[in-house]
Chains A and B, each alone.
Chain A
Amino acid sequence: ITFGDPGKMRDYHYTGPVEHRFSPYSFNGGTVLAVAGEDFAIVASDTRLSEGYSIHSRDSPKCYKLTDTTVVGCSGFHGDCLTLTKIIDARLKMYKHSNNKTMTSGAIAAMLSTILYGRRFFPYYVYNIIGGLDEHGKGAVYSFDPVGSYQRDTYKAGGSASAMLQPLLDNQIGFKNMEGVQHVPLTQEKAVQLVKDVFISAAERDVYTGDALRVCIITKEGISEQTVPLRKD
């Protein structure tokens, strides 16, 4: 961000020529969150699509349904998110046609890792989090970095407000950094309420998060969605 006149800082300000390069990336904001429970998983994202100071859309959710038991949340550069989800859908169909079964969450995670690493030197600028049920019916969350390093977690936040949300989740779901608390297993109702509260907090403090919250709850009955309004400013 450049302001016109350096003003009083003229003596300490660089005033020579500056090379500007075309950047193929852009940051479109957004926060994604996933929580795994004993027999459910939740993937939630805000629905704001922004670029710089502008908001492109207030209704652009970042959760993409892959199979009946898996949802992926992608935030970062929207162009790469769209292409990546198209590629994942195509690979899912190919797998289904050659193996006659749907991919499990763990298999999708491994596949996504290799897809992302295939572009190691011109990466997809996408922070992915996969949420779903594993083969045993337990909740599973897999979090990725943009070049494909991944691991399985209980909960993870990604995107612009991730640095704010992750410590909060560590405390509320992981019971970390506290002494003398009872470790109660997370129920589905409490998890959904926690996710909503956490996003309301994120929308207060992060400018790229807001407008609305889309929550996808994955259980063995299927995927149900809820939309909750957030701050629009």
Chain B
Amino acid sequence: MALQDLCKLQEVLVDRLSAGCSSEPFGTTTGCNYVSGSPFSDAGMFHFYIPAAEYLEESPIRFGQIRPVRSVGAASSPDSPALSWPPGLPLASSHCVPLPFPMAHGTTTLAFLFQGGVMVAADTRSSCSGLVACPASQKILPIHSHLVGTTSGTSADCALWKRILARELRLYQLRHGRRVSTSGAAKLLARMLHPFKGTELCVGATLCGWDGGAAGGGRDPGKNPSSVSGASLCYVCSDGTRLQGALFSVGSGSPYAYSILDQGVKWGLTVDQATAVAREAVYRATHRDAYSGNCVDVYRVSSEGWTRRTREDLKEEYYREEERRGRPSE
């Protein structure tokens, strides 16, 4: 694909963090290994990484094994979405037909700012009113090299609108020679969803990104430490809400996640500590919320771009916790 040549993708680097995860209050984590998503040198307007969601490309044939650490699709990218997009967006009709089937809903996603960038986590259960439609869905979708979005609500809506957003951001970058900021992308998404207000479209997304250059590019270091770093977090909802903030959790499991996050999130956390907090919040929420469960995905967005931690099955964590407490596992 032409964009691939323009971007001149290099070898993917595996970025391993120090294994000293000792002093966080939530017990030992099983390795905070991050895999670098893609080489994100901040060079020039043509450098725009178009993510290939690997759940769409790679053959998942593993016959029961947990997926090994994999470099996220630097080599392949999907066929140009512009070719297969229907000429018009779905027309919102005020007269809604009662549907005979339920849509996929229910989730726990969270994101917060800290000194190392933005920490993003989500569960992987996709449920359809009582049936788990997919135990291994992806709720954190990369939009470009420095922007990641969480999805909550109807998975079809979130997947498609993220694609549209990625396309519009890329067009903006080509036309104006610079990347859109996170709050700008949030505004764009909110404006695009506005005509569908009142319909059954259901999208609750947090856009987590890094704005500006590697050093947080030319911002006034004001009172707020996050204005020095380029980390930025915006919540966008299909009913028109658009909020900028430092901590968000979205979905049916969010109340449970908020309790962990309110206790544990501080600006000065190290990357390992922040990973532990995020993971713990999702773990507790999946325990209490019926519509969240299965595995947890953790991403981090920093000045180098986004990196992803290996997907972890929370079932193992539950058994480890039972052992720690000295109770026999049920």
Contacts and interface: CB of A to CB of B under 8 A. Distances in A.
A120 B199 CA distance: 10
Given A145-B133, A183-B64, A115 B86 contact: yes
A176 interface: yes
A109 B63 contact: no
Contacts of B131: 163
Contact of B59 (A21, A113, A140, A163): A140
A106 B81 CA distance: 12
A18 B159 CA distance: 38
Given A114-B85, A118-B90, A123 B60 contact: no
B270 to A, nearest CB: 34
Contacts of B128: 145
A146 B59 CA distance: 23
The residue among A115, A120, A123, A143 with the most chain B CB atoms within 10 A of its own CB is A120
Interface stretch (A7-15, A62-70, A147-155, A199-207): A147-155
B201 A153 contact: no
Interface in A10-61: 21, 23-25, 27, 36-38
Interface stretch (B13-21, B100-108, B272-280, B304-312): B100-108
Contacts of A25: 97, 99-100
Contact of B61 (A38, A109, A146): A38
Nearest to A141: B60
Interface string A205-217: 0000000000000
Interface stretch (B35-43, B114-122, B149-157): B149-157
A122 B325 CA distance: 51
Given A23-B100, A107-B79, A121 B63 contact: no
B57 A123 contact: no
A154 B60 contact: yes
Tell me if B's interface is mostly helix, strand, loop or mixed: loop
A198 interface: no
Interface in A148-176: 148-154, 163, 173-176
B57 A152 contact: yes
Secondary structure dominating the interface of A: loop
Contacts of A186: 63
A82 interface: no
B93 interface: yes
A125 B104 contact: no
Contacts of A147: 103, 154, 156-157
Size class of the contact patch on chain B: 35 or more
A118 B297 CA distance: 30
A212 B46 CA distance: 55
Given A110-B84, A117-B156, A174-B64, A122 B104 contact: no
Interface residues of A, number: 52
Given A115-B86, A123-B99, A151 B156 contact: no
Given A109-B56, A111-B84, A152-B58, A120 B64 contact: no
B78 interface: yes
B138 A151 contact: yes
Contacts of A113: 156, 159-160
A122 B91 CA distance: 10
From B81, B103, B160, name the one whose CB has the most chain A CB atoms within 10 angstroms.
Answer: B160
B92 interface: yes
Interface of B: 55-65, 78-79, 81, 84-86, 88, 90-93, 96-101, 103-104, 126, 128, 131, 133-134, 137-138, 154-157, 159-160, 199-201
Given A23-B100, A24-B97, A154-B63, 14 more contacts: A37-B61, A109-B56, A121-B90, A121-B91, A121-B92, A121-B200, A122-B93, A125-B101, A136-B59, A151-B137, A152-B60, A154-B61, A175-B64, A181-B64
**Pairs of residues from A and B, 5 with the lowest C-beta to C-beta distance, nearest first:** A175-B64, A149-B156, A120-B90, A147-B156, A149-B155
17 contacts: A25-B100, A27-B100, A106-B57, A107-B84, A110-B78, A110-B84, A111-B84, A118-B86, A120-B157, A121-B199, A125-B99, A136-B59, A143-B134, A145-B128, A152-B56, A152-B60, A174-B64
